Structure 1
Amino acid sequence: MKAMIGLVVALGLIIIIERIIHSTYMLTADGKLVVYYGRFYKGKTIPLTDITDVELKRSSGFGGIMPSKYVLIHYEKKNLLSLVPVKPEEFINALVKRLEHRIEEE
């Protein structure tokens, strides 16, 4: 029984690590944000025109020991998407530039 629990925990950790390591966020030329979560998750595509707000958030991490930053994206009516890019400020700057460019085109 303990071996089975250990196996389930190990598989869960593998899936979480896969998602953390292989997540990518792309801003496409046709005005979309494409989020890929690795091999075990379905990706998500959001038109930039659906994004209503972008925030830089801070989390306390593991009991306040490892604080981290993440990007919270509001889209459509009440949907939220949390992203953890390597350089969150640069990601937000690039996203805001694309959003401003899309607004100018309309």
Structure 2
Amino acid sequence: MAGTRTFHSKVGWVYWGVIAIFAAFLFFGFWDRSWVAILVCVAFEVWLIDEMVHTRYVITEEGFLVIESGRFFKPVAIEILQIAEVKKSKSLISSPALSTDRLKIVYRKKSFKSSVLVSPKSKEEFVRCLLKRNGEIQTDVLT
């Protein structure tokens, strides 16, 4: 069986734009000496940068996809054998994906289906690694 692989999230221009907006608000907070605005903006900047640095998708040797989204959220583990489908998505639904260039992962969770959106930098390599562990996954990424 292949070893553990880690894929970092792609960071899109929208995410960079949000960071820039809060940085501008932070600048104006310092300009006006508005300490409440400064504290709020610093908190958001720390959260956004933490997510940018620590959002990753780990395919473990034990057969799990572990989705980590910053230090402030608990990682999610999905058994790769329960993944039914991986398809391209441009959905803007809140998710552990920092780009609009996303993949929708549909998987079985007990007796129902669930899904999550991710945005690995190398989508094709990410899907190939999943397929090595579960060849039954349906995908439109490698076509």
TM-score, normalization by structure 1: 0.72
Structure 1, gaps ≥5 residues long: 61-66, 102-106
Q: In the alignment, does 2:120 pair up with 1:90?
A: no
Offset from partner CA, 1:7-58 (integer Å, 9 cap, x none): 2233123212211221121111221111122221111111112212111224
Give the 3-state SS of the residue equivalent to 2:135 in structure 1: helix
Supply the AA of the counterpart residue of 1:18.
D
Instruction: Give the distance between the partners of 1:79 and 1:39, measured in 2 at CA.
Output: 23
Question: Does 2:114 align with 1:79?
Answer: yes
**RMSD (Å), alpha carbons:** 2.6
**Matched-pair contact (CA < 8 Å) for 1:56–1:88:** no
Q: Stretches of 4+ moved more than 3 A in 1?
A: none
Identity, in percent, stands at 29
How many residue pairs were aligned?
Answer: 96
Deviation of the 1:73 alpha carbon = 0.7
Q: What are the equivalent positions in structure 2 for 1:33-52 lying under 5 Å apart? A: 33-52=65-84
Change (3 A) 1:9 1:40: same
SS across alignment from 1:42: coil
Structure 2 CA distance for aligned equivalents of residues 32 and 73 of structure 1: 13
Larger radius of gyration: 2
Spell out the pairing of 1:54-73 with structure 2 (5 A cutoff). Answer: 54-58=86-90, 68-73=100-105
Q: Which has the higher contact order (CA 8 A, sep 6+)?
A: 2
Contact 2:55 2:68 in 1 (8 A): yes
Residue 59 (structure 1) shift = 6.0
Q: What CA distance in whole angstroms lies between the structure 2 residues aligned with 1:89 and 1:100?
A: 15
Q: Take 1:75 and 1:9, find their aligned partners in 2: how far apart are those partners? A: 37
**Runs of 5+ consecutive residues of structure 2 not aligned to the other structure:** 1-33, 93-98, 137-143
Q: Structure 2 CA distance, aligned partners of 1:36 and 1:85?
A: 12
